Amino acid sequence: MTLELVLFFILAVIAVTTAVGLLTSRSTIYAALHLVTNFVTVAIFYLLLDAPFIALAQVTVYAGAIMVLFLFVIMLLGIENIAGELEWKGLIWPVVMAVILLAEGIFLVVQRIGKNIYVESAGTELSNASTMAKYLFTDYLLPFEITSILLLVAMVGAIVLSKHEKPAKRGLEKTR
């Protein structure tokens, strides 16, 4: 347990540092890189919790696909630098929300003082991909399907937004 605890604190420091770096860096590229590091660190947290499937999915989906797309868009549009000063007035509501969230977190920690801090084998069942799939397609089928529809709607929306007015040409050949 002690080794895990040491690892946890090292990772926690990295995660918090990269999160703060994401918020404070003036360059969008650096912000994106901070976020990538943060995602990978969170994936290692999942590994520590005996949930390798979620850890690898986290790396594949967030660090590998979404953030590459982010970097691509940032580089394509050439918006490396964030213009203007931070507007503190606009931040009131987010700050209030963050404070409430933090209070909830602290409350949970205080409530657990003196109890066993380690969650009872959260991972062992979920580490098995087939067990997880079984849960996903039986007990949690409805939320799963609703999430799929949500993603589908977002995808259709993105296509509609990016579609040009002119009728699409058919086939692989575009010019000639």
Binding site for other proteins (CB under 8 A): 29, 33, 36, 40, 52-53, 56-57, 59-60, 63-65, 68-69, 71-72, 75-76, 127-130, 170-176
Torsion (CA) 99, 42, 149, 132 in degrees, nearest 10: -120
Measured CA distances, 144 to 137, 138, 139, 147 (Å): 8, 10, 10, 5
Closer CB to other proteins, 81 or 116, in the complex? 81
**Cβ 55 to other proteins shortest distance, Å:** 9
**Cβ 175 to other proteins shortest distance, Å:** 8
Closer CB to other proteins, 15 or 32, in the complex? 32
**Cβ 90 to other proteins shortest distance, Å:** 30
